[in-house]
Copies of this chain bind each other. A is one copy, B any other.
């Protein structure tokens, strides 16, 4: 194809410049800022094809927020990559309130990644027989997983029969990686083993298969992921005295709780998945800064927020049921990304739980601040004041 992007398969700075020049010629745009990049094309073989340049996203600091969690402890400052004014200011305000109340407690409840192939059978009876066969061969499945991956551990085999088709959720723990790829490899290994083992047999052999039939909800928002978990399931909790709610958040525990219940009922009426507020602002900011798969912001953005009064205090909690994150692999080894991860104390092995807890803690801080703003009308004011004034009507 004469019009094709040049340098296909080449991971060099020369190829990058070649593509950029080609794009300039093609579009007539000068693109001066794209000339240089600090990225090393040769190091990106696993990250991007047809490299042409980069995009630089500003990173601001939110916090500090005091953590008293399982993996996240002490005062933490969060680097958020964002272009949306007021976000960091609001998260920091929430962090001040929580810290003044004694900090946020955080806890990872589970970590898992899923692939869910769909197998077609001659009839519903064979599909049901296959379900039994699969259960009986669980040790063989574990063995196949070991052949495909040193890190993936099969923790559940969860079948859903829809007519003649059997969707099987293969559920793995994947250590520090988000794990989509090792999970795919392990499941593919299982699928080939199933095929080979049942071929020519009179066992319940599938007659067709699809590597994933959506029961994994990969890159999708689903109630299934909110229920069963996908990625890291993490919870955060704080207690804030009424006087701090008043002085920092300019609200009262009663007003916050009333606002929260109103938001909950609104969420139900709208058919929202989850019942949070804007946790995804924090998730997106930390995902971009630390090299997570940014597309996973979609599925990771679901949250369930609670608020209650206890005596004079406000107790608030946040559940992130499906945070798809990793501290190795993907973009986490790129220079800036790795260093922001390091600044969070989350780089490398064992950092995943701490990272998840930091996300949950700051997301709770932001939701508190936003709820207070919505309740009192500060929300509209804040967006107008913080850097919006000069462009007032453009946004």
Contacts and interface: CB of A to CB of B under 8 A. Distances in A.
Nearest to A263: B214
Interface in A116-131: 116, 118, 120, 123-125, 128
A83 B291 contact: yes
Interface in A355-388: 373-375, 377, 379-380, 383-384, 386-388
Interface stretch (A40-48, A136-144, A196-204): A40-48
Interface string A214-238: 1101111111111110000001110
Given A29-B342, A47-B85, A268-B304, A220 B128 contact: no
Contact of A51 (B60, B284, B384): B60
Contacts of A210: 259, 262-263, 374-375
A123 B306 contact: no
A165 to B, nearest CB: 6
A380 B50 contact: no
A151 B395 CA distance: 9
Interface residues of A, number: 182
8 contacts: A19-B61, A26-B77, A37-B56, A50-B88, A83-B291, A120-B262, A163-B318, A167-B266
Contacts of A330: 83-84, 395
B295 A298 contact: no
A236 to B, nearest CB: 8
Contacts of A23: 61, 77, 79, 343
Interface in A90-107: 92, 96, 105, 107
A345 interface: yes
A249 interface: no
Contacts of A47: 58, 82-85, 387
Contacts of A281: 219, 295
Contacts of A208: 258
A306 B163 contact: yes
Contacts of A326: 395
A224 to B, nearest CB: 4
Given A29-B339, A57-B55, A77 B149 contact: no
Given A64-B4, A96-B1, A267 B328 contact: no
Nearest to A178: B395
A59 B52 CA distance: 6
Given A60-B48, A162-B306, A237-B163, A271 B224 contact: yes
A161 B319 contact: yes
Contact of A5 (B57, B77, B123, B223): B77
Interface in A273-291: 273-278, 280-281, 283-285, 287-289, 291
A386 to B, nearest CB: 7
Given A4-B64, A77-B5, A227-B227, A165 B388 contact: no
